[in-house]
Structures are given as C-alpha cells and as structure tokens.
Amino acid sequence: MRTTGEIIRERREKKGLLLRHVSAQLDIDTAILSKIERGERKATREQITKLADILELDKETLLIHYLSEKILYEIQDEDLGIQALKVAEKTIKYGVTKHK
C-alpha cells in the first residue's frame, strides 16, 4: 500500500512543482511538507484536502489513505490492534444502519 506521503510526492513531481510552490499554497514551511511527504510528520486534515485540490488528486481517495494511517498510528505496537479494528468496524456499522 502506498503511503499518503508517497502519493503526494509522486504527484507533485509529476506536475513539476517544487516543495516551495506547494508549501506556499498550504501556508507552511517547505520543511514540513518535505517531512509529510517522507512520512516523518502527519499532515492535518485540512492540509490533505488542500493538497488534493492543489495536486488534483481525488479527495476521497486521499482522505481514506490519510484516515487509515491515522487509525494505524493509534494502534501501532498493539497486539490487540486487529481485534480492536474489527470491533470498531462492527460498532460503526451497527450505529450507521440501526439505533442511536
């Protein structure tokens, strides 16, 4: 699975844009965008949607990548992570279709 950062960098380079160009539009330093692309920092949700606009990437796809990384970050190193994910999934499905 390609990481969110990889998707962003790939696309930025394909469009011939420099960190300088894109980070200016995001209103942050190039250092942060560099780190986001290499997975050293997490982007904010707002940055992700802006990046989708700037780089003409499908917003939903990018958001799904981003959110799933956020989820995985929460359960990193947890032996019970997979089971927690399954419980979360059941809970959300139950809540969405029924009740609450």
Partner DNA sequence: GTTACATTTGACAAATATTGTCAAAAAGAA
Partner DNA sequence: TTCTTTTTGACAATATTTGTCAAATGTAAC
* Residues of this chain that bind DNA (CB under 7 A): 18-20, 27-32, 34-35, 37-38, 40-42, 44, 47
Of 25 and 30, the one with the shorter C-beta distance to DNA is 30
CA distance readout (Å), 19 to 6, 27, 60, 73: 14, 12, 23, 25
Of 3 and 35, the one with the shorter C-beta distance to DNA is 35
Contacts of 73 (CB under 8 A, 6+ apart): 42
- Minimum distance from residue 29 beta carbon to a copy of itself (Å): 26
- Minimum distance from residue 84 beta carbon to a copy of itself (Å): 4
CA distance 50 to 62: 11
